[in-house]
């Protein structure tokens, strides 16, 4: 999985992810989110339009990242989930916890 971090305002960041968010890539995803939050950006939007596959480990990484962000006084939002990702989020009811936005800019708009 590739992750590109974009700063969005003073306390927010957008993470553009591509590839597969699964058992192999989940630890690196968690580490990237933690680094962004520790760097003073506790409000994180994760853009998932180019994520072709999400499994239970990826779901766990997203929920763990949400918890990390909230413990730091921030939040985590998802943006533009691909069709497969949206299906997994819906089947697992995680879509009730992580609100989806059209894109990363929309997800952080009220934060900046």
Percentages of the chain per state (helix, strand, coil), in multiples of 5 = 40, 30, 30
User: In this structure, is residue 107 part of a structural domain?
Assistant: no
Q: How many CB atoms neighbour CB 98 within 10 A? A: 19
- Tell me, yes or no, whether 92 lies in a domain: yes
Buried b (16+ CB within 10 A) or exposed e, 56-88: ebbbebbebbbebbeebebbbbbbbbbeebbeb
Q: Does the residue 111 lie in any domain?
A: no
Tokens standing for 105? Answer: 């800019």
pLDDT score of 9? 84
What's the pLDDT tens digit per position in 41-73? Answer: 999 999 999 999 999 999 999 999 999 999 999
Q: Is residue 9 included in any domain, yes or no?
A: yes
Looking at the whole model, is its pTM more than 0.85?
A: yes
Tell me whether residue 18 is in a domain: yes
Quick check: is 109 in a domain?
A: no
- Percentage of residues of the chain with pLDDT beyond 90: 94
**Torsion angle in degrees (nearest 10) through CA of 26, 29, 31, 35:** -170
Give how many domains the chain has, as a whole number.
Answer: 1
Q: Residue 70 belongs to a domain with what CATH number?
A: 3.30.750.24
Could you tell me if residue 110 is inside a domain?
no
State both tokens at 77: 């939002």
CB atoms inside a 10 Å sphere around CB 29: 22
Domain span at residue 11?
A: 2-100
In a domain? residue 80: yes
């Amino acid at each position: 999985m590739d992750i590109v971090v974009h700063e969005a305002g003073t306390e927010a960041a957008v993470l553009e992810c591509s590839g597969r968010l699964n058992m192999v890539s989940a630890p690196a995803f968690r580490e990237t989110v933690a680094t962004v939050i520790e760097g003073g950006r506790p409000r994180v939007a994760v853009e998932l339009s180019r994520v072709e596959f999400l499994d239970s480990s990826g779901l766990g990484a997203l929920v763990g990242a949400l918890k990390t962000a909230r413990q730091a006084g921030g939040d985590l939002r998802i943006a533009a989930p691909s069709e497969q990702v949206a299906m997994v989020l819906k089947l697992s009811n995680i879509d009730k916890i992580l609100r989806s936005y059209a894109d990363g800019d929309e997800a952080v708009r009220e934060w900046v």
